Structure 1
Amino acid sequence: MTSAHNTPTVQPGELLDDSALLSLEDLARTCHMAPDWVSERLEAGLLQADSPDGHWRFVSATVVRARRLAQLETTFDADPHLAALTADLIEEVAHLRQRLQHLEAATGPGPQPR
């Protein structure tokens, strides 16, 4: 499916690759939120997007972050900034775990706790 701007329309739950770009409406639909919700997070600097032609375009990493923000806000009735801080921490822990796995793969596991 395509939208009026020849951008593929992504259905909720559809797996995205790194080259897939979503419109604001597609991102909102994927997160089960209103387009205004996405716009508010963009204006607050909680989500990142490109707008080369005047239309917002979102990459798959932003989809993951937006879904996480929506889940945190909905599940815990979290303030958007608190949800973003929590998402930042979750992303940082995942990044550190990945680095540790790469390090352990290259050098072997470190000492085991007793």
Structure 2
Amino acid sequence: MTPTSISVHLVEVLEDEALTVQDLARGARMQPEWVVTHVEAGVFQPCAGGAAAEWRFTTTTLQRARRIAQLEHSFDADPQLAALAADLMEEVAVLRQRLQRNI
């Protein structure tokens, strides 16, 4: 047998509160200004930091940001409406998990 070449990718393991504004924006495929606007509107809550340059976000916020960005893009939704839809989608997922555990 001939040895196979395996490409190894190094992955940086981030703490759950390690995402910066730039990281969150990049993960959601949006601009950093989009993140700042959404924090100011109350759509996202930084878990740490006072000024925007110091804000830190969790990976859960990244998932939420991706969902909201997609809703805004797909349906031309207002940020508050997209956040409400994301909240409802998350609640439905939690309820489905509970239902599966009880079946």
Fold-level similarity (TM above 0.5): yes
Residue of structure 1 in register with 2:40 after alignment = 43
1:73 aligns with 2:67: no
Higher share in helix: 2
1:21 to 18, 24, 27: 18
- Residue 20 (structure 1) shift: 5.5
Check whether the contact 2:17–2:48 (CA below 8 A) recurs between aligned residues: no
Letter in 1 for 2:63: V
Aligned equivalents of 1:71, 1:53: Cα separation in 2: 28
Structure 1: runs of 5 or more not aligned: 1-13, 105-114
Which 5+ residue runs of structure 2 have no aligned equivalent?
1-10
> Relative CO higher for 1 or 2, CA cutoff 8 Å, sep ≥ 6?
2
Ranges of 4+ aligned residues in structure 1 off by more than 6 Å: none
- CA-CA distance at 1:50 after TM superposition: 2.0
Aligned positions, number: 90
TM-score of the aligned structures, taking structure 2 as reference length = 0.79
TM-score where L is the length of structure 1? 0.71
Give the match for residue 89 of structure 1: 88
